[in-house]
Amino acid sequence: MAKTIYIVVPCYDEEEMLPISAPQLLDKLMSLIHSSQITDQSRIMFVNDGSGDQTWSLIQQLHSQDSHYSGVNLSRNRGHQNALLAGLMTAAEYCDAAISIDADLQDDINAIDDMVTKFNDGYDIVYGVRSDRTSDTFFKRFTAQSFYRVMNMLGAKTIFNHADFRLMSRRVLAGLAEFPEVNLFLRGIIPMIGFKSTTTEYARKERIAGESKYPLRKMIGFALEGITSLSTVPLRLITYLGGFIFSISVVFAIYTLVQHALNHTISGWSSLMISLWAIGGLVMFSLGVVGEYIGKIYLETKKRPRYLIESVLNDTEQKKL
Ligand code: UDP
Ligand code: MG
């Protein structure tokens, strides 16, 4: 049986891009509807993230032209991740699966066919993965890829070269709703949800109209957000660094004492040097230990679900409570 798919598109100041991307998205949706792969109740859902331009009135116009376009209007600008979440949670009330994609269509909409096929084959998450980033500037490519590497090194498992272009089934969306954290980094949370997942590859294109809403300043902020909201490894690094400096101080102490014994030093130097390193190392080590506890508190305050059940095998009837 065909499923209802929602394509969720966060939009911030996209008045230049919308008139180009909306018809392309509709064509894609209609072709999937006509080939009976998805139902006619499927929609393209634009989320207006407090745009300062004509974005919302464009969305309203689109909706009045064709009911396959729908819209969500946020009260103010809340940023890409929050806008996306708002759209996904709204879509979850109507759909069997939602696909998120940026308004600039840098991600190839033709990958949607493959996502829908894989969803029909029983996958719950289909990650869009960029096989080719040649359209990105060297700088963007370099910064983005170093970011994925650092994230993985710090223990936050993200899918390499995957941004926010993915299909998620209804139960994945329900799982996502169980993550009440405020510092949202969807790329890190979705893999934590689990369920059967796969990827589909595509070549990333250039933005054809409007400007990137992610200048370097925002990109760095986003990277820091990702690292600090998924990993407490930086806190542990302080502990290691403290231990390291303290062990240097031990070596240094021996060296200083030898110099002292050989009378190569002026008075006061030895004691100063030893205490400087030893105390520095100890202070940093203690900070790290305190940090370890803060890290635990931090993770607890996120109130993440401890598990999500995929299926239960049991033949006996459930007792009504
Ligand atoms: N976006 C948003 N709110 C913001 C910033 C961006 O909803 O505060 C949307 C934007 O309209 C686009 C998507 O997030 O659909 C990704 O932004 P962009 O394409 O500018 O980022 P880049 O591809 O350069 O990383
Ligand atoms: Mg873009």
User: Looking at residue 48, which CATH number applies to its domain?
Assistant: 3.90.550.10
Q: Are both 309 and 279 inside the same structural domain?
A: no
Determine the pLDDT at residue 277: 83
Determine the pLDDT at residue 94: 92
Determine the pLDDT at residue 117: 94
Summarize pLDDT for 50-89 with one digit per residue, the tens.
Answer: 899 999 999 999 999 999 999 999 888 888 998 999 999 9
State mean pLDDT over 126-153: 79
Which of 6, 141, 147, 26 lies closest to 87, judged by CA? 6
Ligand 2 centroid to Cα of residue 80, in Å, is 11
Report if residue 226 sits inside a domain: no
Determine the pLDDT at residue 30: 94
Determine the pLDDT at residue 273: 79
Q: Are both 148 and 74 inside the same structural domain?
A: yes
**Could you tell which of 7, 15, 104 is best to mutate to test the pocket of ligand 1, judged by most ligand atoms within 8 Å of the CB?**
104
| pLDDT at 314 > cutoff 70 | no
Summarize pLDDT for 203-224 with one digit per residue, the tens.
Answer: 877 777 777 777 778 878 877 8
Classify each residue of 247-256 as buried b or exposed e, where b means 16 or more C-beta atoms within 10 Å of its C-beta: eebeebbeeb
Ligand 2 centroid to Cα of residue 212, in Å, is 6
- Per the structure, how many domains does the chain have? 2
Q: Are both 265 and 164 inside the same structural domain?
A: no
Give dist(CA 76, CA 53) in Å, integer.
12
Summarize pLDDT for 156-209 with one digit per residue, the tens.
Answer: 778 888 889 999 999 999 999 998 887 788 888 898 898 999 998 888 777 777
Ligand 1 centroid to Cα of residue 117, in Å, is 27
Domain range for 267 is 233-302
Of all protein residues, the one whose alpha carbon is nearest to atom 2 of ligand 1 is 80
Q: Are both 189 and 298 inside the same structural domain?
A: no
Which residues make beta-bridge pairs with 48?
Answer: 11, 73
Determine the pLDDT at residue 196: 92
Q: Are both 206 and 273 inside the same structural domain?
A: no
| pLDDT at 10 > cutoff 90 | yes
Report if residue 240 sits inside a domain: yes
CB of residue 136 inside a 6 A radius of ligand 1: no
Of all protein residues, the one whose alpha carbon is nearest to atom 14 of ligand 1 is 80
| pLDDT at 228 > cutoff 90 | no
Summarize pLDDT for 28-43 with one digit per residue, the tens.
Answer: 999 999 999 999 999 9
CB of residue 213 inside a 6 A radius of ligand 1: yes
User: Which ligand is closest in space to the CA of residue 9?
Assistant: 1
Give dist(CA 56, CA 276) in Å, integer.
61
Of all protein residues, the one whose alpha carbon is nearest to atom 8 of ligand 1 is 79
Summarize pLDDT for 98-109 with one digit per residue, the tens.
Answer: 999 999 888 889
Q: Are both 165 and 253 inside the same structural domain?
A: no
Report if residue 321 sits inside a domain: no
User: Which ligand is closest in space to the CA of residue 164?
Assistant: 1
Report if residue 225 sits inside a domain: no
Predicted model pTM: 0.76
Report if residue 219 sits inside a domain: no
| pLDDT at 310 > cutoff 70 | no
Ligand 1 atom closest to the Cα of residue 84 is: 7
